[in-house]
Structure 1
Amino acid sequence: MNILASLQTNQMIPEKYKQMSREELEARVFEVKNKLGSRLFIPGHHYQKDEVIQFADATGDSLKLAQVSAENTDAEFIVFCGVHFMAETADILTSEKQKVFLPDMRAGCSMADMADIQQTERAWEMLQGIFGDTILPLTYVNSTAAIKSFVGANGGATVTSSNAETMVKWAFDQKERILFLPDQHLGRNTAADLGIGLDEMAIWNPISHTLEYEGVVSRIKVILWKGHCSVHENFTVKNVIDIRYQYPDMKIIVHPECRREVVELADMAGSTSYIINAIETAEPGSKWAIGTEMNLVKRLIKNHPEQQILSLNPHMCPCLTMNRIDLPHLVWSLDTLEDENNQNIIKVSDEIAENAKVALEKMLLHS
């Protein structure tokens, strides 16, 4: 859902929840969890605030949480602490008897909003005119249900930051070229790691509806949608240089949503789960600069005092839309689960869900 649209339809949280103390809010969460038992399941994304993540029944990335939600067949109520596209994926994968809720409908994703279905359909038509039937679409799971559905309808699949390399290899077994939505950096980093030259990658600009490329278009193998993560794009080469100067023996680990030049200069790059695992298995006394979302970095610092950990960018802020899910919104959501007029239910239409599920299942089959 577009963030502006969600703001227009969002039911505002009652003032009483904003006036409650943290102790009152926490007590209410425990009360509802005890009352509903296995009928309630709260998945929490790694980037959520500690005040929320403490109540999560499972933590993980968006796809893992959607899968775990579907596996919890006793859960009638899925209160997804994440952002809109994640709750959509959970709704796609869960059964009809399960309802998915997002505590704050303003919790969107700027990256997902950088590719809407109208732009994508127009781009596809224009690219087909240039390249013919030689392109397979892939979309990062950080995309709307409508984009996932489009990709599924056109023979493509979804990818995660963990399996992007596997899925790009698979895509090239199907077609000569790929269109990678909506994160240009993950697409570029993955393709480059597979040996595809930067001079074989073009950018599709959805605002000007143009292909940005200097050279003979027949050489293009990867078409990157001009989108990005607002958090990860803010890690810079200067950040890396500063860390190398101040802490020569510190390892730098970054997420592949970072710019190519940052990934190239880092010691390690991988998904959120990869980063967490690297820290959890590292030797005591090891030193790390992490290039990912600040709530997660702070949690790793707190959980691993035996290591020296800091953010690659000392001025980085948490993901603003992820931060919208707070204790007052969580409690409000829990209190209104059975209200007939609940406006925080995430429901993907059957038509969109059908092809989106095709794209997701194709990824699960091949990765």
Structure 2
Amino acid sequence: MNMSQKPLPEQYLSLSEEEMDRRIQQAKKVLGSKLVILGHHYQRDEVVRYCDHRGDSLKLSQLAAQAKDAEFIVFCGVHFMAETADILGAPEQKVILPDLDAGCPMADMAELEDVERCWNQITAQYQAEFVPVTYVNSTAEVKAFCGRHGGLTCTSSNALKILKTLFNEGKHVLFLPDEHLGRNTAIQLGLEEEDMFQWQRENWDIELPKVAPQIILWDGYCGVHQRFTPAHVDYVRSQYPGITVIVHPECSHAVVEKSDLSGSTDFIIRQITAAPAGSVWAVGTEINLVSRLAKENPDKTVICLNENVCLCVMMSRISQPHLLWVLENLQQGKVVNQISVKPEIAKDAVVALERMLELSK
């Protein structure tokens, strides 16, 4: 689904912080229960403060589906998150992304045409049963592909349980689109490098191994988490003796291996929130979340694993002016920047999401 971003009206760019705050609060009051604003953990503070809920992408989409009274769901996140909210929401609900240019490079690394080419090659070569599993950080089209081919979605919280179940059933996996989450999870389950194969999406003459690997990893990655290196872990340990290093599993295996803990954004938040006063943490994830954790845990020392700010540029496209613009349009009865997944794609994508929820119980 390609939609172009309309230029933000000039009048919104010159407003003071106080004026934007006043008008956003006013729009929220007028729209009342018809409106739910969702904010991802990586969202900037000046936007997330207006959100009714904050969380990771799947949690927010599930909250959107539960908000039965809400006619409008404004998703302060990126494109694939708004798509998932639209897939899980009621037909009459309208999902709005304040800036349509807020995409996800990792999701875009798995294009449907490339995924189909890979799948055709796998199924032509192997008798083994492969199941496509896509991280929720993927397009609606890729989720639908998995739904059509007996596959499902996963999150960084439930990838371990899902892959363990599939491997125990004797199945093999094509894991999309984040190679690091796939590799880290597989290694956690005892797989060796020889049990995995790295698919190269830009190589049109790729040769698969003769024996079916347990897992084929797509070569996608998150640009933010790719910036953390083993050298960063060594450096913070040298500067802060006794520090606990916690990272997201979208980091490379070399980083995860050197860290003390790894897990989803919710896992990271829970660990630091429950930690004793005086503890020191280096966190390998997006800087807005790290900064918020530092503010919300003043009795602990919380720093970013990489001192050079690791910002999700796409997430930061959602700004106060964009949020105000979409809310004031809603006040006037106009829906702008609606994200609407085609029914035939949504039908297959929801199958993949439902299979995940069933396996995650």
Length-normalised TM-score, structure 1: 0.95
Match of 1:313 among 294, 306, 313: 306
Q: Which moved more, 1:191-200 or 1:129-138?
A: 129-138
Q: Which moved more, 1:312-321 or 1:173-182?
A: 173-182
Q: Is 1:119 the counterpart of 2:114 in the alignment?
A: yes
1:310 and 1:209 mapped to 2: Cα distance? 42
Count of residues paired in the alignment: 360
1:262 and 1:251 mapped to 2: Cα distance? 13
CA deviations 1:81-132 (Å, max 9, x no partner) are: 0000000000000001100000000000010010011111111111112224
Q: 1:310–1:33: structure 2 CA closer, same or farther, 3 Å change rule?
A: same
Q: Which residue of 2 aligns with 1:220?
A: 213
Q: CA deviation at 1:209?
A: 3.4
Q: Is 1:189 the counterpart of 2:188 in the alignment?
A: no
What secondary structure does 2:354 align onto? helix
Q: Is 1:61 the counterpart of 2:56 in the alignment?
A: yes
1:174 and 1:340 mapped to 2: Cα distance? 52
User: Tell me, which stretches of 5 or more residues in structure 1 are unaligned?
Assistant: none
> Contact (CA 8 Å) 1:202, 1:211: kept in 2 or not?
no
> Contact (CA 8 Å) 2:95, 2:340: kept in 1 or not?
yes
1:91 and 1:175 mapped to 2: Cα distance? 34
Q: How does 1:220-239 map to 2 (within 5 A)?
A: 220-239=213-232
> Contact (CA 8 Å) 1:135, 1:175: kept in 2 or not?
no
1:169 and 1:152 mapped to 2: Cα distance? 19
Q: 1:212–1:12: structure 2 CA closer, same or farther, 3 Å change rule?
A: farther
Q: Is 1:98 the counterpart of 2:88 in the alignment?
A: no
1:211 and 1:277 mapped to 2: Cα distance? 42
2:190 and 2:310 mapped to 1: Cα distance? 34
Match of 1:256 among 249, 252, 258: 249
What secondary structure does 2:141 align onto? helix
What secondary structure does 1:220 align onto? coil
Q: Which residue of 2 aligns with 1:11?
A: 6
Q: Which residue of 1 aligns with 2:285?
A: 292
Q: Which residue of 1 aligns with 2:160?
A: 165
> Contact (CA 8 Å) 2:35, 2:70: kept in 1 or not?
yes
Q: CA deviation at 1:246?
A: 1.1
Length-normalised TM-score, structure 2: 0.97
Q: How does 1:320-335 map to 2 (within 5 A)?
A: 320-335=313-328
Q: Which residue of 2 aligns with 1:29?
A: 24
2:64 and 2:137 mapped to 1: Cα distance? 18
Q: Which residue of 1 aligns with 2:136?
A: 141
Q: CA deviation at 1:359?
A: 0.4
> Contact (CA 8 Å) 1:156, 1:171: kept in 2 or not?
no
Q: CA deviation at 1:133?
A: 5.2
Question: Structure 1 vs Structure 2: percent identity of aligned residues?
Answer: 49
2:55 and 2:307 mapped to 1: Cα distance? 24
For the aligned residues, what is the CA RMSD? 1.5
